Amino acid sequence: MIHKLLLLLSVLGLSLKASATVVETTPGSLRDLVDDTSITALTLTGEMDARDFKFIADSLRQLTEIDLSGVTIAAFSDPRNPLFLTLTDYAAHSIPAMALFDLPLTQVVLPVSLKSIGLGAFAGCDQLQAIELPATLDSIGSYAFSATGLTTVTVPATVKYVGECAFSNCQSLTTATFEAAELSANLFKADEQLATVTLGPQVRSLGNGAFNGCYALTSIELPEGSVLARVGDEAFIRSGLTSINLDNLNSLSSVGEWAFAQSALTQLTLPASLATIGQGAFFYAPSLVQLNMADGVDEIPAYMLAGTQGLALDSLPEGVATIGDYAFYNNAQTARFYLPATVSYIGSWAMAGMTGLQYVTSLAIDVPALGDSVWAGVDQPAVKLEVESNEVADDYAEAEQWKEFHILRAYLMGDANDDGKVDVNDVTTIINFILKKNPNPFVFIAANVNDDERIDVNDVTMVINYILHGGPGTVLRSKQSVPVTPDCVEVKPFSVKPGSEVLVEACLNNTQTYTAMQFDLQLPEGMQLVEGSIAMASRAQDHSVASLLDDNNNTLRMMIYSLGNDAIVGTGETLFTFKVRADERLAAESSVTTSDILLVTTDNEKYLGSDAVTAVSNTTGIDDMTVGADKVYAYGGMLVIESAEGGNAQLVATNGMYTDLTVAPGRNEWPVAGGIYIVRLNGKSYKVIVK
């Protein structure tokens, strides 16, 4: 019995669902054809016009489903009797303004020949979750789907016009695909659930307030070939946007006022094509930490970056002439600020609250005019101001609001750390600046060696070349004393025969961790470096070496550094290798010296290393130690010389120290410390290892 009852109810349900009213109508006749105004489903065929839509709007208030796929909308005009709002003329193939406003519609099928949807046509239909817009559609009126229940929408490329707020306040809308050319003003305003937006490549403009208040929208990907030219005023204000890829656009010319204000944007690169940025574009965007601007922008507008406390903006594009009021207000993370030569005016309160400032660099020869309280809240006497020359510094020192800075006057080109000399420590300081490690002190103008108004690897290269060409043996002394350390770069003892080549090892004897160094390596007469043979060992595999031979080809100025300022690992092992070639001029008593050693730690502190002297034998070190009746060897920690004739010998340690020995005929012993020695006896040299 229960089973039969359920079956009956099921059949009745199907019957009710299938009871949609189907009407074939002619223009203006729908009122006469529908007797029951409580119907919930309606399918129309034939033709209809604005009068029929008026009947639906006024009388069919319970309508939830309407199928217009089989109907053609005809034109209608009655100048004396407006039907919707004050409109009296209604175009063919168009749903009139406000025609289906606030109906409980859940399902709508539009005419296949539809060309336009009027103002507010479906506004307030909060039960309508989906609608398919036909490929014939070319315009959507303002507020057409505002405050509907749409969860997803696709606007086809055929649409040439979309009115303001067409999809605004759709609280359930999560996905939008927009292939039309223009996103109109406030198009998706306050759609708080909108999370996914796909834009077609032909989109030219993001209208004013297009995504205003779209909190769930975190990113927008612009397709390859995008022709986007404009981001409108308030386009993403108060949105959840964290990223948008504008950097590869070559058509974007303007970003409107307050476009990204109070958004969640974290970083942005603006393209070179951008010419105009509106005021307050990034106003109080609290998560913005990186903004890259290309040359071409000539004005930083008012309020542009006010309140972006997480942003450390160190430079402005070349060509900027004016900076507007409050432009960088409370931009407290910026430690160094760079003003290009083109700046002529800075507005009121523009830099107020920049409490993190340590350096300001101004390349403007004519002192820029200032508005009121430009540097309010900044401890100006503690901030160093760098300018082009001492003469220009005099002008700044007399100008109101500029003279309060600590104005730097003289600098040494390449002396990035302002210690009075140019050495490998300046190389590591510049690298740290490039790596955004904020070295302090750092003199921008001195580091900008190639005078291109930016700090990059080209400046590193020029400083290296300057140091290498400073002349072997030249020691540039600092204004401050540099501590001396026993650490050194030392060549390991070796032997080489005239006319042959040998691979030589150099080690770093270190008690602490270093990242860079410079030193002079002096070869004896009769020994030459084999070109291109210098190679870094595994302990410094991330490091590069730069070197320069003097005109006599016997003193090599060397610099070892890393573009990542990486640490040289380990202690005492081989640092680098090189090959030397000997000729007949190589004397028996020769040595290799490393001197003028400057070592830089991973904390960017520097030390003067100790010189090291290594004795060199003009034998191979493999020769039989028995020459004639003489024998030279080590035994039990003793140096042993057996000589038939006796005579004078000379003991040479690896540190270059000489000891004269008197050799009697027969066996002679001397206690010596463990190490490698060269013994010269009767015109011959012997290499001995004492353990």
Cβ atoms of residues 439 and 476 within 8 Å: no
Cβ atoms of residues 103 and 61 within 8 Å: yes
Cβ atoms of residues 631 and 641 within 8 Å: yes
pLDDT in tens, 439-463: 988 888 889 988 777 888 889 988 9
d(CA 168, CA 661): 101
Residue type, 325: D
534: which residues sit within 8 A by CB, 6+ positions away? Answer: 545, 547, 558, 576, 577, 578
Among 124-138, 246-260, 410-424, name the one with the lowest average pLDDT. 410-424
For the ranges 221-230, 260-269, 403-412, the maximum mean pLDDT occurs at 260-269
Coil vs helix vs strand at 563: coil
pLDDT in tens, 180-192: 888 899 999 999 9
pLDDT in tens, 512-549: 999 999 999 999 999 999 989 999 999 999 999 998 88
d(CA 345, CA 301): 12
CATH architecture of 488-617: Sandwich (2.60)
pLDDT at 11: 37
Residue type, 352: A
Cβ atoms of residues 339 and 315 within 8 Å: no
d(CA 635, CA 619): 22
pLDDT at 686 over 90: no
pLDDT in tens, 57-85: 999 999 999 999 999 999 999 999 999 99
The bridge status of strand 675-681 relative to strand 684-690 is antiparallel
Which contacts qualify for 458-462: CB closer than 8 Å, 24 or more apart? 459/430, 460/427, 460/430, 460/431, 460/434, 460/563, 462/414
Q: How far is CA 459 from its chain centroid? A: 19
- Going from N- to C-terminal start, the domains of the chain cover 488-617, 626-690
Q: Over the range 516-530, which residues count as b (16 or more CB within 10 Å of their CB) and which as e?
A: bbbbbbbbbebbbbe
pLDDT in tens, 321-350: 999 999 999 999 899 999 999 999 999 999
d(CA 210, CA 168): 9
pLDDT at 619: 64
Place of tokens 């027969």: 666
pLDDT at 636: 66
209: which residues sit within 8 A by CB, 6+ positions away? Answer: 185, 186, 187, 189, 232, 233, 234, 235, 237
For the chain, the helix, strand and coil percentages under 3-state DSSP, each to the nearest 5 = 10, 30, 60
- Tell me the pLDDT band of 629, cut-offs 50, 70 and 90: low
Question: In which order are the strands placed within the sheet that holds 196-199?
Answer: 152-155, 175-178, 196-199
CATH number for the domain running over 626-690: 2.60.40.3770
- Tell me the pLDDT band of 10, cut-offs 50, 70 and 90: very low
Mean pLDDT to the nearest integer, 239-260? 93
pLDDT at 99: 97
pTM above 0.85, yes or no: no
